[in-house]
Structure 1
Amino acid sequence: MNSHLIEVSEYQSAGYSPVVDFQTWRVAILNYIDELETPLINNFQCHLDTDEVFVLLAGRCILFCAETSKNRLGKIVAQDMQAGKIYNIKQGVYHTHTLSLDAKVLIVENRDTCDNNSPKISISKDIQDELTSLKAQLWSPQ
């Protein structure tokens, strides 16, 4: 294959990594990482300048989104992702996620998405416990 025609990228390590940047957009991969276990999640984040798209490629992933008021988290919604479906987290929506050990998630966002335009809200142990409970409800064997 002519490498000047098709660029092939992959990311197999733990956590998040951009794999393609072009003009104003970025494609990244998120793989399982310990810090996204629900008892260890310590914040929700939003993006002020962009929506963010998630596509589950392998394993399992739950997207947690929160209503907010005056920089405080309100009701949390948990979405158990289905492989191949596109999940668009709208600009300004606070979110986080948890992944199974075998998970691989494709992420599309603005190339300039960074900590400067993506504020975080720290969460309490009570919120961590709520995330753990929601995960148990969604992933418990039927």
Structure 2
Amino acid sequence: MNMLPASLVEIGASFAQTYQPVLDFHGWKVAMLRHFDVVAPETFYRVERHWNTNEVFILSAGQADLIICEGDAKPTTAHVFPMQLNVAYNIQQSVWHHVVMSPDAHIILFERSETSLETTDYAELPADVVTRIKAQFTVKLSVG
């Protein structure tokens, strides 16, 4: 591959099976998300929200379901829907959410640079709610 001048273009890539920021510029962060234990359908048990930013998800390969929940202080009604390839989903600031992914899935994320554990709330869901949400997944649970 030809070397491109760094003064003209910045390239970010990651093929790790995890969440990995690859670019950070003008207050925005771009990250790659690939399948790992946190986004495996069988390990789903909580949702999160970022009170400092929206978060954009773009599925570029595989299958994924987005889970978004109504509610302010705590998540209430859950909505589960399959992501379409190459469509941008803009999760609004402070909306409870999570994503589950197939092993071959790849998601591109955009969020504010300062998004971190300090700007994120987590809510563990009751077992009966988790069961109802998992029943709506289109991404299949691993067997065995």
Q: Is the 8 A contact 2:28 2:113 kept in 1?
A: yes
2:119 is the alignment partner of 1:121: no
Matching residue within 12, 17, 25 for 1:14: 17
Matched residue count = 137
1:39 positional shift = 3.2
Identity %: 27
Gaps of 5+ in 1: none
Normalising by structure 2, we get a TM-score of 0.87
1:60 positional shift = 0.8
Matching residue within 20, 25, 29 for 2:28: 25
- 4+ long deviations beyond 4 Å: none
Gaps of 5+ in 2: none
2:87 is the alignment partner of 1:72: no
Distance in 2, matches of 1:94 and 1:68, equals: 8
In structure 1, the partner of 2:50 is 47
Deviations for 1:89-141, whole angstroms, at most 9, x for unmatched residues? 00010000100010000000000001111111112222221222011xx357x
Q: Is the 8 A contact 2:101 2:139 kept in 1?
A: no
Normalising by structure 1, we get a TM-score of 0.88
